[in-house]
């Protein structure tokens, strides 16, 4: 979900949480204690790149997808829909 949110363009952690809440119509309310460690993990794995920015006195870490992140997102998106289809069969 974090990777997908960044496909629309770079964003910082706090903003990613907002975008995710908006785009899911309030369904996904990720806690900060979930998101920040997850972003660090994704960067360590080479799927995200980050740079620091200061906007009106406040520092932000801006994340964007790396090339590997993009292809990983594409793969995981396919995996998700496969899982969702299987789930639909199981729940039917």
Partner DNA sequence: GGTTGATACCTCGGAAGCCGAGGTATATGA
Partner DNA sequence: TCATATACCTCGGCTTCCGAGGTATCAACC
Identify what 61 binds: DNA, a copy of itself, none; CB under 5 to 8 Å per kind: DNA
Alpha helices in the chain (DSSP H): 2-5, 13-23, 32-44, 67-91
Using only C-alpha atoms, the chain has a radius of gyration, in whole angstroms, of: 15
Q: Which of residues 24-43 bind a copy of itself (CB under 8 A)?
A: 24-25, 27-28
Which tokens go with 81?
């829909």
Helix (H, G, I), strand (E, B) or coil at 86: helix
- Judged by CB under 8 A, the residue of 18, 46, 53, 87 near a copy of itself is 87
54 in contact with a copy of itself (CB under 8 A): no
**Spatial separation of the C-alpha atoms in residues 65 and 32, rounded to whole Å:** 20
Stretch that binds a copy of itself, among 34-42, 51-59, 62-70, 76-84 (CB under 8 A): 76-84
Report, in Å, the least distance between residue 31 CB and DNA. Answer: 3
- Judged by CB under 8 A, the residue of 6, 16, 20, 48 near a copy of itself is 20
Give whichever of 49 and 73 is closer to a copy of itself, judged by the CB atom. 73
Phi, psi for 24 (deg, rounded to 5): -100, 10
């Amino acid at each position: 979900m974090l990777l997908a949110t960044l496909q629309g363009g770079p964003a910082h952690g706090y903003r990613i949480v907002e975008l995710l809440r908006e785009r899911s119509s309030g369904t996904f309310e990720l806690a900060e204690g979930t998101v920040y460690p997850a972003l660090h993990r994704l960067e360590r794995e080479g799927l995200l790149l980050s740079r620091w920015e200061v906007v009106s006195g406040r520092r932000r870490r801006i994340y964007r997808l790396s090339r590997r992140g993009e292809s990983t997102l594409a793969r995981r998106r396919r995996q998700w829909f496969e899982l969702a289809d299987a789930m639909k069969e199981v729940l039917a």
